[in-house]
Each structure stands twice: as C-alpha cells, then as structure tokens.
A and B are shown apart, each in its own frame.
Chain A
Amino acid sequence: MRRDIKGKEKKGIKQDVVFLGISLILVTVLLLVFPEKQKAVITVSWEFFTEIILILPAVMILMGLFAVWVPDGMIMSYLGKASGHKGALLSFLLGALPTGPVYLAFPVASALIKKGARISNAVIFLSSWACIKIPQEMIELQFLGVKFMALRLTLTIVFVAIMGLSIERIIGWSNKRPSSL
C-alpha cells in the first residue's frame, strides 16, 4: 500500500513537470504572438508568485512538524471514543489538523463507523478534513482576506454540522424501511 502510494507520487511529479513544460512553451508562444500582453501577464504572475512564496514554506514547515510529532492512529483513537456534542467538536478539530489529501481520510472514516462512531461525526470529520484544513485557511487568509475567510469558515462549520445530522437521519431512515416491509 505504502509503496503503491509512493509510486503514484513519483508519477504525479513527472506529470506535473511535463504539464509545467507544456504550459511554459504555450505561454511563451502566446506572448510572442501578442507582445502587447507581455507586461500584464508577467506582472500579474509575479505578483501572485511573491504572495504565495512568502507564505508557503512556513505552511509546509508547520505541516512537517505536525506529521512527525503526531503519530498515526492518534487521531483515530481520539475520535473512536468521543460521542455526542464533544464528538462533533472533536471531529471538526481533528479533521482540520494539517494532514494529507482527502483520499487518506476515507479509510479512517470507514474504520470509525465500523468501530461504532456516529455517522454524523464521520461525515463531519470527512468534510472538515476536505475543506477546513488549517493550512488551507492560512492560504485563504493570505489571498482573500480575513473577512472572507472567517465568514466562509463559520458558514461551512454550521452547514457541515447540519449535513452530518441530515445524512445520519437519512441513512438511519432508509436502513429501517426495508426491514419493516
């Protein structure tokens, strides 16, 4: 499994570099055909580049520290135990920790349900993992401002909680129905 992921990673990097090469060639041709656009394109690209490069190394360092200091499985052992309001809160917090891409969260969520965690908490955990990650919020703060980031975060938390409870209801209801027939 590990090796499989590593192999995919390597292929992914190669793919990205190839894409980058193609985009570079395309943009060079484009700018040679439309020289009047050169200044605008380069200025904008440079602006965005400086903005991201000032922040990304720090975000990566924080993620690296987290990856080494918080052992695998710790998140699961915490979540498995929690229930009720505390469980929902914990699902949000643990999902938001700076961990890997969302496809790593699917097996964790699945294991949680098998262990008896509430479906609502599994949904909250998954969604939190996907869209309220702490490093993501940092980049959002940098590019879209504090108002945008804070409002979107608040709304997302509220609606994800509602969604978790709804999905739990729907699944519970649809599981009951066939057996009563």
Chain B
Amino acid sequence: MKVTVIFINLLAISGLLIAFVKDKDRTRQSVIIAIKSFSRILPSIFIVIILIGVFIGFVPANKISEIVGEQSGPGGIFLIALLGSVLHIPALLSFPLAASFLKNGASITAVAAFITTLTMIGTVTLPLEIKELGRKMALLRNGISFIIAIIIAFIMGAIL
C-alpha cells in the first residue's frame, strides 16, 4: 500500500480519536458532515472514473502524446491550459484525471498546466467573482493566473 494512503488514514483516525475524547457530540457532527460531503461527491467520482477508463481504453496513447506529449509544442500546452480554465470539475477530481493524462502519454508540462488552470481559474464562477470583487480585480486575477499557470507548467516540465 502507498505511504500516502497510510499517512492520511492515520491522520484521520487519530484526529477522530482526539476529537472523540474531547467532545462526542461535535465528533458525531463532523462524521455526519463527512458522510454527507462524501456521498455528495460520489456520483462525480464514478463519472470521472468511467471517463478515465474510456479515455485510456479508447484513445490511443500516441494520439495524446502527439497533442500534449513531450514532442508537442507550446500550442498543445496552451490548448490544455485553456481547457483547464473553462472546465468546471471539482479540484479533488482533477488529480485522478490528470494522472490518467500522464499515464496516457501527456507531458508533465501539459498536466501541470491543466491542474493549475483548472484550480486557479474559474470561468464559471467569474461572474460571481466580478460581482463581489469588481471587474478589474477579478479579470486581473484570472488573467494573470493563466499566465503564471503556463510559466509554472514549463518550469515543472524543465525540472521533472
């Protein structure tokens, strides 16, 4: 089993134990919230898992690496960064998706660009952001985020 799995589960179990000793009611409440949010995200998880299966099973790896692989130019990176900005996927699900891209021949740069734009930029939530923070700040934050996501991606591709 992976170290990450053990580490995070130990963390959760010890957290629960400490919480339980301190306050049973609040611990119960926490568990209820956890179960609720878990069942809330479960359908999306199944959808993403099916998508990943179909994606890896049907799309040939050389097609992926042609577009966003080691040999592909900055055009592919730009494309995947754009895709990440527009899509509205819960961040927790973006990582298995990104891992499946990587497994199927996408480069580190492409995957880093995808995750970073996906989490940092919200096209769907942009109207809300404008409403709360003003047009100038919202557009600046999302625009500059796009640029730094691409910079981060190329640095990561160069190092890893």
A-side interface residues toward B, CB under 8 Å? 9, 12-13, 16-17, 19-20, 23-24, 27, 30, 34, 37, 40-42, 44-45, 48-49, 51-52, 54-65, 67-69, 101-103, 106-107, 109-110, 113, 119, 122-123, 126-127, 130-131, 133, 135-136, 138-144, 147-148, 151-152, 155-156, 159-160, 162-163, 166-167, 170-171, 174
Contacts and interface: CB of A to CB of B under 8 A. Distances in A.
5 contacts: A30-B58, A41-B54, A136-B92, A159-B151, A171-B136
Given A69-B26, A156-B152, A166 B95 contact: no
A59 B90 CA distance: 14
Main secondary structure of the interface of B (DSSP, over half): helix
Contacts, number: 220
B96 A58 contact: no
Given A61-B15, A131-B91, A131-B119, A68 B29 contact: yes
B22 to A, nearest CB: 9
A49 B47 CA distance: 11
Closest 9 CB pairs of A and B: A45-B53, A64-B34, A58-B12, A41-B57, A131-B119, A106-B132, A16-B43, A64-B33, A64-B30
Given A58-B11, A135-B92, A127 B145 contact: yes
A130 to B, nearest CB: 5
Q: Quick one: which of B29, B46, B90 has the most chain A CB within 10 A?
A: B46
Nearest to A45: B53
